[in-house]
Amino acid sequence: MPLHLTLTKRAGVTLAGALLAALAGCGAPPSGRADQELGTRGAATPSTSPAVKSPVQVPARPKAIKGLAGMPPVLDPKDVYAADRPGRLSPVVKDFPSRVYVPNTESNTVSVIDPETYKVIETIPVGIQPQHVVPSWDLKTLWVNNNRGHTLTPIDPKTGKAGDPVEVHDPYNLYFTPDGKYAVVMASLDRELVFRDPHTMKRVKSVPVSCYGVNHADFSLDGRYFIVSCEFSGELLKVDTAKMEVIGQQKLPFSGAMPQDVKLSPDGKTFYIADMMADGMWVLDGDKFTEPKLLPTGKGTHGLYVSRDSKEMYISNRGEGTISVFDFAKNKLTKKWKLPGGGSPDMGGVSADGEVLWLSGRYNSEVYAIDTRTGQQIARIRVGGGPHGLAVYPQPGRYSLGHTGVFR
């Protein structure tokens, strides 16, 4: 909540060869044609000899996902985060220094933390009320969203140097369409979704919305639509990515609902929406866009972060200084970690190796580093005032969908 409202051809040949050998061992007659394709002969006659092995069982291929035109292909239809495994850094980012970039909304700065020493090594002046640090779709730039300054400050993650600010009105949050064609600015107070050129940030199309406080979002497995939270009116939007149009809208079934972060399940079937007033996360079927159900997690539920193995999701409960852990396979909460001495865990991300969860302490001018194996606090680091949407960078993934680091 803003402060102003407090697989190769060679491999295929190898597999084909293995299948031919297996079929020959099972009594199939000689081909007589070196170039005969698999599947053109009749079924092999099973051998009764116990010394002969059964044919190789070839697992059925998962059905390919027909994604948004221009979007990189889905690597694994059963895991949208398959590209996000530890160490799978894109060639684009592999030489970037590992840093944690913290936007301080009250100090108009970005604190830069070295995750090896857990110390602030630089403070970068930016525009007024920086809300989130957002990796670009092509992974080459970090954009600081200066909400009330109406600018975006680009940071080169290779050198750590800030460039000249770009004028963009009301940039509370920033996302990128899966095809890399557009940036999408969440203009919260302007009540617009603004589609822009992802490099120049020139406005392409503005989509007025009737809800208040467009805030966070995530895209479907096929990239054809995305779900947006509207925090001030307690609503959700469903937006057609290619058409750039709102195609669904609903009010959350909780009086005073204030939805925040949005995250897709690994299997792509469910969206989770954190709600800081309902003290839990909404569980939504995005395709059907029917009424979601609430899963209580803790007071002030705010940020949602998927583990590197796609098995768990870390949920920050800002109002009680805790992190809940949700198990996707078990479909339930399994752990809750409490920050020693309390705190206000808000937005953040997971380290490239998956071992540390980094979260900003919104109302405590600090950042928390938490061991994802034990839940123990590793470090508590002083930063500027009102730290918000920090970005851990670089991270594994082929491209960024925006926010503090949603990678595919």
Query: Cα–Cα–Cα angle for 354, 357, 362, nearest 5°?
Result: 160
The answer for residues whose C-beta is within 8 angstroms of residue 38's C-beta and 6 or more apart is 16, 19, 20
Bridge partners, residue 101, by sequence: 112, 391
HSE-CB at 252 with a 13 A cutoff on CA atoms is 32
C-alpha to C-alpha distances, 104 to 3, 127, 173, 370, nearest whole angstrom = 11, 10, 14, 20
Q: Mean pLDDT score of the chain, rounded to an integer? A: 88
Mean pLDDT for 251-272 is 98
Q: How many CB atoms lie within 10 A of CB 265?
A: 22
Distance CA 237, CA 107 (A): 32
Least confidently predicted of 51-60, 98-107, 218-227, 235-244? 51-60
Query: Cα–Cα–Cα angle for 80, 85, 86, nearest 5°?
Result: 160
Q: How many CB atoms lie within 10 A of CB 64?
A: 9
Q: Give 42-76 pLDDT, tens digit per residue.
A: 333 333 334 434 344 544 556 778 999 999 999 99
User: Which domains are delineated in the chain?
Assistant: 82-393 (2.130.10.10)
The answer for residues whose C-beta is within 8 angstroms of residue 50's C-beta and 6 or more apart is none
DSSP E strand boundaries for 30-89? none
Q: How far does Cα 322 stand from its chain's mean position?
A: 21
Q: Give 376-402 pLDDT, tens digit per residue.
A: 999 999 999 999 999 999 999 999 999
Q: Give 290-325 pLDDT, tens digit per residue.
A: 999 999 999 999 999 999 999 999 999 999 999 999
Q: Give 360-376 pLDDT, tens digit per residue.
A: 999 999 999 999 999 99
Distance CA 354, CA 159 (A): 24
Distance CA 195, CA 191 (A): 13
Residue 374 is predicted with a pLDDT of 97
